[in-house]
Amino acid sequence: MAVGNVAVPQTIYAIDGIKLSVTAAGVRYKGRDDLVVIEIADSAATAVVTTQNAFCAAPVRVLREHFAAAAPRYLVVNTGNANAGTGTDGKRRAEDICAALASRTGVNADTVLPFSTGVIGEPLNSEAVIAGLDSALANLSADNWHAAANGILTTDTIPKVASQKITVAGTDYHITGMSKGSGMIRPNMATMLGYVATDANIAPDLLQEMLSAINQQSFNRITVDGDTSTNDCCVLIATGKASSEVIDSPEHPHYQAVFNALTEVFVRLAQLIVRDGEGATKFMTVKVTGGKTTEECCDVAYAVAQSPLVKTAFFASDANWGRILAAVGYAGVEDLDTEQVNVSLNEVMICQNGSVAADYTEAAGNAVMSRPEITIQIDLARGTATDTVYTCDLSYDYVKINADYRS
């Protein structure tokens, strides 16, 4: 069961220049939406980031080649099969899908980017995907974000959509996005995917820089189990339909407002993945302040966020602060003066100068731990850097989901 506010927004703004469709192609299961096609206006700029996993899936390899060669016009996403660990045959199948979509739409094959999510190591039924393309292309619509968000899910329990409108100096900008994933890696369903579009007019190089920076604050700051998928991809499209005014540098007067709104949408989509984390019953924000560098803040935040002992303590609503201190202690921060470290859970200070806080009570600790949303704030008191990571607890259901998955 997902944690906290996971509602789909009441208003999902269509993005001029983007059309989506979803169909049931029967890739793995019959009668289940499993194929999404996204059409991108030829005016658009597109930015992409992909998994760092050396065992990246066949579609990720094809995507990288295509993206290097041409501006994308179509994205094609299948669920049910990740087409990972499938060697040269898998790559050929990903290429076949792109070629089939290209021939039906009159574009070059390298303007099509493929995405797959699902079981690893089984041959992708690319024939079924190709057979589903006609139906998908017949149903393209700017209003299909919600349906498409459902169509890219695997074992997620909720569709993940965020949408915003901002007005900057009289220009309306719209941003809508969707994501999927319930772990950084979803067992056999091994993928975190994110697609965000805006009608802002942003120069391609700047768009890629913005995506990289925003990704570091959103999808790259979540962890359910510390595993990184073979298929993770994130796409940001700027269709340019909102204005002829091109945002071409960080100094442009519209830049900061658009950047901030995009960041909000990305953070929301990333947090939705954690809120729908496998077996999650708590949503935790690990905020580290007072570091010498962002890197060491991030190391500490991840050590805490990924500690099975911390995560099980949160599942148990047990204010077991010794586990948090221990994780801070092994995060590898050089010359950490532990006697300066302070730790709070929401408004309750639990650790002051490296020991239990003077006015801390177990009752106060357990009261805050019983809430579904908890911010763990760790102050290293040695600098001005800060970083934040989002995670969830580790429950019986995490083990159950991942142990039972293929049975």
Which residues sit at the interface with a copy of itself, rule CB under 8 A?
A: 52-56, 82, 84-87, 119-121, 183, 185, 187-188, 190, 225-230, 306-309, 312-313, 315-316, 318, 320-323, 325-330, 333, 336, 338-339, 351, 353-356, 394-396, 398-400, 402-407
Please state, in angstroms and rounded to a whole number, the distance separating the CA atoms of residues 190 and 71: 26
Q: How many alpha carbons lie under 13 Å from residue 68 in its C-beta half-sphere?
A: 7
Would you say 127 and 107 are in contact if contact means Cβ atoms under 8 Å apart?
no
Nearer to a copy of itself, 78 or 188 (CB): 188
Which residue lies nearer to a copy of itself by CB, 138 or 358?
A: 358
Closest approach of Cβ 119 to a copy of itself, in Å? 8
Q: Which residue numbers belong to the known binding site?
A: 154, 180, 191, 278, 402, 407
| Residues whose CB falls within 8 Å of the CB of residue 367, separated by 6 or more in sequence, listed in order | 348
3-state secondary structure of 205: helix
On whether the CB atoms of residues 77 and 36 are closer than 8 A, the answer is yes
Name the residue nearer to a copy of itself (CB basis): 53 or 386: 53
In the bound complex, what is the minimum distance in angstroms from residue 386's beta carbon to a copy of itself? 19
The least CB distance from residue 390 to a copy of itself, in Å, is: 17
Measured in degrees and rounded to the nearest 5, phi and psi for residue 117 equal: -150, 135
C-beta closer to a copy of itself: residue 60 or 168: 60
CB of 369 to a copy of itself, least distance (A): 11
Q: Please say whether the beta carbons of 269 and 179 come within 8 A.
A: yes
Tokens of 42: 């030829």
Kind and range of the H or E run holding 196: strand 193-198
DSSP string covering 347-382:
TEEEEETTEE-TT--HHHHHHHHTSSEEEEEEE--S
Gap between the Cα atoms of 378 and 324, Å rounded? 9
Is 191 a residue of the active site? yes
**Positions at the binding site for substrate:** 154, 180, 191, 278, 402, 407
User: Which residue in 155, 191, 223, 230 is the catalytic one?
Assistant: 191
Q: Which is nearer to a copy of itself, 253 or 322 (CB)?
A: 322
Give min distance, CB of 295 to a copy of itself, in A. Answer: 15
Q: What angle do CA 281, 341, 301 make, to 5 degrees?
A: 40
- Half-sphere CA count of 336, side-chain side, radius 13 A: 24
Length reported for the chain: 407
CA distances (Å), 16 to each of 144, 150, 258, 322, 349, in order? Answer: 12, 21, 16, 52, 48
CA 385 to chain centroid: 24
Please state the closest distance from residue 77 (CB atom) to a copy of itself, in A. Answer: 19
Name which of 268 and 323 has its Cβ closer to a copy of itself: 323
Active site residues: 191
